[in-house]
Amino acid sequence: MAITKIRIATRRSKLAMVQTLWVKEELERNIPNIEVNIEAMATQGDKILDVALAKIGDKGLFTKELETQMLQDKADIAVHSLKDLPTNLPDGLTLGCITKREDPSDALVINKKNESYKLENLPSGSIVGTSSLRRLAQLKFNFPNLIFKDIRGNVITRLEKLDSGEFDCIILAAAGLKRLGFESRIHQLIPSEISLHAVGQGALGIECKSDNHDVLKIIQVLTHEETSKRCLAERSFLRELEGGCQVPIGVNSGIKNNQIFLTGMVASIDGKKLIKDKSIGPSTDPERIGKDLANKLKIQGAEKILEEIFNEYR
Ligand code: DPM
């Protein structure tokens, strides 16, 4: 039998490599006679480490170089953290598959000296490290007594910065910590009532060329139906609000009895304004639920909040 060859483009970070190796193993486990090769590279987002993420724009910061590889036929698929993949993809490329989601929550990781505290009772003036406008806005809204400081670098670098005493605590995605084997560093899972997670958080997205039908078919073995529906609703919500990946927009979703439940919020960066609402609808039409929710928030003033942010950061 002929050998099927798949070339994967990925970022070089430890987390990206763990995720890509998982995809490789799953493909090898499910598809007979497959040969999977990985090409790892740095993206713009990996290179610019000294500037706050929010200030260097968002359009495909972690994905563009991988997409170029596919468009130039040097790779067949790209494996992304779904939350880093813009909602509008370049012409000729498609989101071919969404994998089973890890816990999508954010996690509080704490410096040893603060071990007796939870987010709710951290002393006033405690320094929280995050570069996510979404985390910043929601935590400021709930805990205006805390101080927030930018933190960059990959997950391991951030843990080192925390341990060195630069911060009292930092916020990271539980999914990334788990995949990297740092589950024991999760001090507290942040409840969705306090902070909604990012669109697509915890899931992987596999991108490929829209006309590559063979590859599209092969990667379906990695599709997780429930995650896909939830994430398509979340992505439709974000797309409708025209938010990039670096905006204070958060979601929470679930499926029960073939109904998708979607909660979404938009907040101002100072944490003073926060609009939140919910939509429910049949899981056969995730896109509509996302749009519906976005429109509900728009009516309540979401566009004005987002416009102010764009004016400040662009
Ligand atoms: C995006 C954000 C962050 C990443 C913004 C957000 C966090 C940035 C920061 C879109 N991508 O979440 O509001 O904290 O400075 C990223 C992580 C993962 C994928 C790391 C993390 C792992 C989790 C996953 C960076 N991208 O959020 O702790 O696969 O969902």
Please give, one letter per residue, the 3-state secondary structure of 244-293: CCCCCEEEEEEEECCEEEEEEEEECCCCCCEEEEEEEEECCCHHHHHHHH
Instruction: Decide: residue 25, CB within 10 A, 0-12 exposed, 13-18 middle, 19+ buried.
Output: exposed
Tokens 């670096």 appear where?
246
**Inside any domain, residue 133:** yes
**Inside any domain, residue 268:** yes
Give the ligand 1 atom nearest the CA of 151: 15
Give the ligand 1 atom nearest the CA of 202: 30
Residue 66 CA, ligand 1 centroid: distance in Å = 18
Pair 214, 65 in one domain:
yes
Pair 50, 89 in one domain:
yes
**Inside any domain, residue 308:** yes
**Inside any domain, residue 312:** yes
Within a 13 Å sphere around the CA of 169, how many CA atoms are in the beta-carbon half? 30
pLDDT at 314: 63
pLDDT at 55: 52
Pair 307, 242 in one domain:
yes
Could you give the number of structural domains in the chain? Answer: 3
Given 84, 106, 277, 292, which residue is catalytic?
84
Residue 35 CA, ligand 1 centroid: distance in Å = 30
Pair 110, 57 in one domain:
no
pLDDT at 62: 84
268 lines ligand 1 (CB under 6 A): no
Pair 154, 272 in one domain:
no
Give the ligand 1 atom nearest the CA of 131: 15
Order the strands of the 259-267 sheet from edge to edge: 249-256, 259-267, 274-282
Pair 50, 121 in one domain:
no
Pair 5, 95 in one domain:
yes
**Inside any domain, residue 168:** yes
Residue 293 CA, ligand 1 centroid: distance in Å = 23
**Inside any domain, residue 277:** yes
Pair 87, 19 in one domain:
yes
Domain of residue 73, residue span: 1-100+203-223
Pair 95, 210 in one domain:
yes
Q: What is the full per-residue pLDDT of the chain (314 aa) written as tens digits?
A: 688 999 999 999 999 999 999 999 999 999 999 999 999 998 888 777 655 555 545 567 889 999 999 999 999 999 999 999 999 999 999 999 999 999 999 999 999 999 999 999 999 999 999 999 999 999 999 999 999 999 988 899 999 999 999 999 999 999 999 999 999 999 999 999 999 999 999 999 999 999 999 999 999 999 999 999 999 999 999 999 986 557 899 999 999 999 999 999 999 999 999 999 999 999 999 999 999 999 999 999 999 999 888 887 76
Pair 89, 208 in one domain:
yes
202 lines ligand 1 (CB under 6 A): yes
Q: Is 84 a catalytic residue?
A: yes
172 lines ligand 1 (CB under 6 A): yes
- For 17-50, give the DSSP string: HHHHHHHHHHHHHHSTTEEEEEEEE--HHHH--S
Pair 127, 59 in one domain:
no
Q: What is the CATH number of the domain that holds 78?
A: 3.40.190.10
**Inside any domain, residue 195:** no
Pair 37, 80 in one domain:
yes
**Inside any domain, residue 197:** no
CA nearest ligand 1 atom 18, residue: 176
Distance of CA 106 to the CA centre of its chain: 10
